[in-house]
Amino acid sequence: MRLRGLIGGIVVLLMGACVAPEQAFVSDVELFDPDHSAIVELKQEQPNGYGELKIFLRTDSRFSEDSLTVRIVTFSPDSLRTEEYHRLIIPPTRRINALKQVVEIPYRRGVTLRKEGTYYFTLTPTRTVAGVEAVGICFRTE
């Protein structure tokens, strides 16, 4: 009887660990250069969502950058627009083979998404970048 309770408790803990407070929104790109932006839609279902935003890149073996400056234009559900430049510092990787990798870079902490609805992030690099297959935004609630 005690063993069954222990196993049930472990199952409940494992099921709880599978529920991540992080949402990822991604846009596939064929070209990532100043003429071809990535538009990422972040769907916020709860007003006053508080957390952290990260930018991520899915790359292939052609990607060899250690930093990248992108222009980020944000549109909120209540029609507000903001624009800024942000320098992404790419951590070094040790790839043994030509596998794809996902690089996450912190963008903003302590972000409050006040309105329910869709936020649009347009990310445009200031120069051509080879090897980027997808660009995305992670929103981790706190």
pLDDT at 15 over 60: no
pLDDT level of residue 19 (50, 70, 90 thresholds): very low
pLDDT of residue 98: 55
pLDDT level of residue 16 (50, 70, 90 thresholds): very low
β-pairing, 117-125 vs 101-113, is unpaired
- Percentage of residues of the chain with pLDDT beyond 90: 50
Place of tokens 């790359």: 59
Nearest CA among 41, 27, 120 for reference residue 76: 120
In 3-state terms, what secondary structure has residue 30? Answer: coil
